[in-house]
Amino acid sequence: MPVHRVRRGLRLPITGAPSDRIDDGPAPRRVALVAADYMGLRPTMHVAAGDNVARGQLCFEDKTMPGVRYTAPAAGTVVAVNRGDRRALQSVVIDVSRAEREGRAPETASFSAFSGRHPSGMTDDEVRSLLVESGQWTALRARPFGRVADPAPRPHSIFVTAMDTNPLGP
């Protein structure tokens, strides 16, 4: 099989410049918390189908890591709690409220750990408790298996990546 080498590259005669405008996409009608995104999750449910939820309201907690909260990403009504084999959670689907879709102030949950202070003026325990209570802690991953980080121990290192580092990831 012959080997082809590109020596000087390829110049495409494209005229003009790209637009600097970013369009807002359509507001989603439904959002979901997908259990496959959280490896090893064993949930304790706090909502059921038909419940109204506010943005940031507790949907479920992890039995294996008590205190780690998974909160609603949008205000609306829980349409379905989908379960798979052996009643394993697959997803919690929320039908987004009209106020949320139209950009009006939706219902939001209040957090007792939120004091209104800037994070630089808070202790590490206060920041940690605010992240856990608001459900933002679930965005932090512990390596090497990519599970949700345990909030109890102090991390040795924090790495911030701007791209997917999984093998064969996009």
Would 99 be classed as within a structural domain?
yes
Would 72 be classed as within a structural domain?
yes
> Region 158-165: what's the mean pLDDT?
80
pLDDT in tens, 53-78: 999 999 999 999 888 999 999 999 99
Would 141 be classed as within a structural domain?
yes
CB 55 within 8 A of CB 61: no
Strands 141-142 and 69-71: unpaired
Would 137 be classed as within a structural domain?
yes
pLDDT in tens, 16-61: 888 888 888 888 999 999 999 998 899 999 999 999 999 999 999 9
Would 17 be classed as within a structural domain?
no
Residue 129 sits in a domain of what CATH number? 2.40.50.100
Would 3 be classed as within a structural domain?
no
- Can you tell me the distance from the alpha carbon of 157 to that of 104, in angstroms, rounded to the nearest whole number? 39
pLDDT value at 170 more than 70: no
Would 169 be classed as within a structural domain?
no
pLDDT in tens, 119-151: 888 998 899 999 999 999 999 988 888 889 999
Residue 81 structural domain? 30-103+110-148
Would 124 be classed as within a structural domain?
yes
Provide the domain count of the chain: 1
Predicted model pTM? 0.77
Q: Which is higher by pLDDT, 160 or 70?
A: 70
